[in-house]
Amino acid sequence: MRTSSLNADEGRPIDAPVIADADGDIAALVYGAQDRPDLLLRDFAHGLRKDGYKLCGLVQFRGHDTDGRRRLLVLDRGRSFDVHRAPGAPYHIDAPWLDRMAERVKAGIANGVDLAVASRFGPLERAGRGFHGVIKLASETRTPLIVVVPQADFDRWTWFSAGMTVRLECRPDSVSAWWRGLATAAPRAGRSRACEILK
């Protein structure tokens, strides 16, 4: 698949959407201004980890301190920490750092996980950076993935994903129902497929 480039006029990648498998288990957790997807995912991930599931990904907490710090939860480590925004950076988090974190999540998917989380979909992903590669790899390997999508960006996400993902409301019951549906479906071959693709 070709690498997408950003169309400056339309603010979206020029090439075809990155999700090519409608059978994949990718869900968009869509949130509005009053929602807290970070807290929802933190609690959901905690419950899954207690049940023995293997997770990877990043939860980005909303808001930041006056000095520019932002709180993040790294799911494969099960701990949170602060990162500082680069001075004058156009994104909330230093873009090269986020690219490196995405590579870590891709490695987690390649090693086999029950769920990955990409937080969140925005300009970097539309430009082929950030979690763009994570979303693409999860699609190729059929790894369950939750992508946090702002309501204002949902139309862009629909184009980006070719409409081949599930939309989740920002409520615990919506996320839990989606997860239960995966658990009762036929077993996926995501882990073995990941190994084959990345050989």
Domains of the chain: 13-198 (3.40.50.300)
pLDDT tens digits, one per residue of 118-175: 988 988 888 888 899 999 999 999 999 999 999 999 999 998 898 889 999 999 999 9
Assign 140 to helix, strand or coil. helix
Q: Please, what's the b/e burial string for 113-122 (b: 16 or more CB within 10 A of its CB; e: otherwise)?
A: bbbbbbbbbb
Contact 138, 145 (CB under 8 A): yes
φ/ψ of 77, rounded to 5, equals -95, -20
Whose tokens are 């994949």? That residue is 24
pLDDT tens digits, one per residue of 174-186: 999 999 998 776 4
DSSP 149-171: EEGGGHHHHHHHTTT-SEEEESS
Name the pTM for this structure: 0.79
